[in-house]
Every structure is written in structure tokens, then in C-alpha cells.
Amino acid sequence: MAREFTQTTINFCGKECFFKRCSNETLKAFDEEMEAKVKEIQPLTEESELINKKGERIEKQIESTERRIRLMEDNDDDYKAILKLQDKLDKLLDEQDEFLEEVKTFNKEHEGLSDNLESDMNDILARKVESIVDGITAKEFLENADAIDYRIAANISKYYEMCMVGERESKIQNEIREDISTFRERQKQL
């Protein structure tokens, strides 16, 4: 059936598959489902970012205070001023300890949340692949997909649209290769 629709193939989980017809409404529903999942954890994401910024700010204050102490010691400055900075540094280190406890508590309260979100997002993506690609089920995708398959799946709507507008298979395959190459470069930088 899919071959009547298009001769364009796409490689998933080590096998060649064909695109099949899929309504825009179905594609839109998958995208909306993914967006809803992301919005669901938005407050936690924002809270996590605030916690990270607080930690960075404390760390910068500690580094700055340590630099000032070293400069004053190197210049044989007033020992009373150095002691004041030393007291400030002690307070900052105590604040950092409290912050680290706050991070532990936050992580413990939300343990497994990112794994659950990743699992949910992968499930949505697998169902989307099953809707667009003939010859692979969502279960097969989840069981056999590697990082490259997930990268292709993340961009499957783009490749499907290219197929729908009649782009040559070679152009679609080239787009896939470029996306994979970009993905690999980003992975090397991590």
C-alpha cells in the first residue's frame, strides 16, 4: 500500500521502510501531545533553573571573595580587613552547604521524573513513527531504536512533508544524512 503512495524509503532500526499517508490532524495531535508533556513539567524546569542560578551566584561570590583575600595577603594589607573577608567567606561556604542540601531535597522529591518524561516522550514519538512509516510498529521502534533512529524520528514530520511535496528521494536522504551529521557533532561536544 505505501509503495503506491511513495517510493521514498526511510531506514529505521536497521530496515528500510516506506512512508504512508497520514493526516495533518494526526501529526498535529502528536505534536500537541508532546507540547502538553513539556508544559506539564515547565514549573519544575523553571524551579530547577532558578536553583542552578542560585548555585552559580554563590559559587561566583566564593571565588570573588577568595581572590580578594589572596590579593590582600599578597600585598600585606590590613589583617583586620582580611579577617572580615574570611568571615564573609565562611558565611558563603555555609550558604553553599545549605544550598547543596536544597538541591538534594529537590532531586529526591523529583527523582525519576526525567526518566518518566523521557519514557512518555519516546512513547509518543514511537506512535508517531508508526503512523507515518509503513513496516514498523511503535513497539518495534521502542525495542530496536538507537540514538540515530531517535534523531530521525524527531525530524520525521520534516521528511514526511518533503515526501508529500514530491522531493526526490535523494534530497530527502541527503537531509537525513545532514541532520545525523549535525547530531553527531553535537554529541562530540558534550
28-83 pLDDT tens trace: 999 999 999 888 888 888 888 898 899 999 999 999 999 888 888 877 767 788 88
Domain locations in the chain? 1-190
Q: Check residue 1 and give its pLDDT.
A: 45
Distant-in-sequence, close-in-space partners of 3: CB < 8 Å, separation ≥ 6: 18
Low-confidence ranges of the chain (pLDDT < 70): 1-5, 77
Q: What is the pLDDT of residue 41?
A: 83
Amino acid at 136: I
- Please choose, from the candidates 118, 109, 128, the residue with its C-alpha nearest in 3D space to the C-alpha of residue 44: 109
What span, in angstroms and rounded, lies between the C-alpha atoms of 32 and 35? 5
CA atoms within 13 A on the CB side of 96: 15
Q: Name the percent of the chain lying above pLDDT 90.
A: 47
- Which pLDDT belongs to residue 53? 93
